[in-house]
Amino acid sequence: MEKHLGTLVFDIDGLVCPQLVGEGVDYASLKPYKKALVIVNGLFDKGYEIIFETSRFMGRAKGDSQKAHEIGYDFTFQQLTRWGFKFHKLRVGKSRGDLYIDDKGLGCPKQEDGRSDWDKIYQECLKVDNNKQ
């Protein structure tokens, strides 16, 4: 069997469908973005491994990944499937964050030598302030 081209890890809410805000959000009401569906499925068909990771249900689970998985895995798996997404894996139980910093993240600041640019990372971190209006 041919090796896949690479592994692409996608978020769900706010990326492939709108982000719901507030307590007790109803994920069932969401609809996917058509362009996201076309592009992700196209990448799957080209031979990329597609993984979805979500922090859905982490609020309800009080940050317990295993509990979030128990509450939301089947629902989310079925929703992605019903929406028509082709994927290999789903992980429910990602940490909830206001900013995700990952050297393999799209747009992660890099220096000219390819190393992570910590001055830029620091400045981006300082922009996170949930106390701001």
The residue (of 56 and 69) whose beta carbon lies closer to Mg ion is 56
Supply the DSSP string of 14-67, one letter for each residue. TTTBPPP-STT--GGG----HHHHHHHHHHHHHT-EEEEEE-TTTTTTTT-HHH
Q: Shortest distance, CB of residue 70 to Mg ion, whole angstroms?
A: 21
Residue, CB closest to Mg ion: 14
Interface residues with Mg ion (CB under 5 A) are: 11, 13-14
Six-digit token string for 102:
């990952």
The residue (of 117 and 124) whose beta carbon lies closer to Mg ion is 124
Q: Shortest distance, CB of residue 55 to Mg ion, whole angstroms?
A: 7
Q: Shortest distance, CB of residue 98 to Mg ion, whole angstroms?
A: 11
Tell me how far apart the terminal alpha carbons of the chain are, to the nearest angstrom: 53
The residue (of 8 and 117) whose beta carbon lies closer to Mg ion is 8
The residue (of 55 and 69) whose beta carbon lies closer to Mg ion is 55
Using CA atoms, how far apart are residues 110 and 90, in angstroms rounded to an integer?
29
Q: Shortest distance, CB of residue 109 to Mg ion, whole angstroms?
A: 20
